[in-house]
Amino acid sequence: KQEVTQIPAALSVPEGENLVLNCSFTDSAIYNLQWFRQDPGKGLTSLLLIQSSQREQTSGRLNASLDKSSGRSTLYIAASQPGDSATYLCAVSGSNYKLTFGKGTLLTVNP
Amino acid sequence: NAGVTQTPKFRILKIGQSMTLQCTQDMNHNYMYWYRQDPGMGLKLIYYSVGAGITDKGEVPNGYNVSRSTTEDFPLRLELAAPSQTSVYFCATTTSGGLGLKQETQYFGPGTRLLVL
């Protein structure tokens, strides 16, 4: 059974700092890995999707990497801003694109 | 293009009551999913559908039922509500577009918050 772990569970940083969120998964037979953002009381917004054959994806200040053989992914956020404060969820896609989620990292960026 | 819509946004049920959570998408996606999210936890898959007329169980299907008569709609039915079903329910969709095994991202609805007392 696929299990996804996210570390740390919570992170508080001052504005402007670069930061890394970590995600690990136990079964390397995945189709893709996705990073989502969730604001309090809201749904999930997709940030980045990395196909299993890819090593990284970038969108603006966000960069996600994937090392499928070791079961690890990182989400790098450059020059963090208070508006980045949210919960970040990592999910891996298996058969029929079903997602297995981690519990998330609660990020707080302080002005 | 509304994407994925869910109704209701919030509902309080008494133990033993039944209800249907509605999910509609206008993106013509063939895959649809129901997840639940408990406080401090990630999302867990309840049921999913790979196309109209085809549904299958996810990780936590007990106490729920689904149907998929059209591409657009994927309702989730709770027959006998229990306190353990207090949660936030999310509907999501994706499509198997592209060549080979290339998958698309999943698009989520805004969620339905359910409280069973």
Which residue in the block uniquely carries the two structure tokens 């963090």?
A80
> pLDDT for B56-83, tens place per residue?
999 999 999 999 999 999 999 998 999 9
Per-residue pLDDT at B95: 82
Residue B1 CB neighbours (<10 A): 4
Do B38 and B90 meet the contact criterion of CB atoms below 8 Å apart? no
Residues 36-95 (B) with a CB less than 8 A from some CB of A = 40-45, 48, 50, 56, 58, 90, 92, 94
Per-residue pLDDT at B98: 52
The minimum CA-CA distance between B85 and chain A, rounded to whole Å, is: 18
Contacts of B108 in chain A (CB under 8 A): 36, 43-45
Q: Is B101 on the interface with A (CB under 8 A)?
A: yes
> pLDDT for A39-88, tens place per residue?
988 899 999 999 888 999 999 999 999 999 999 999 999 999 999 999 99
> pLDDT for A2-44, tens place per residue?
999 999 999 999 999 999 999 999 999 998 999 999 998 889 9
Asked whether residue B100 carries a pLDDT value surpassing 60, the answer given is no
Mean pLDDT calculated for residue range B21-41: 92
Contacts of B43 in chain A (CB under 8 A): 44, 89, 91, 99, 101
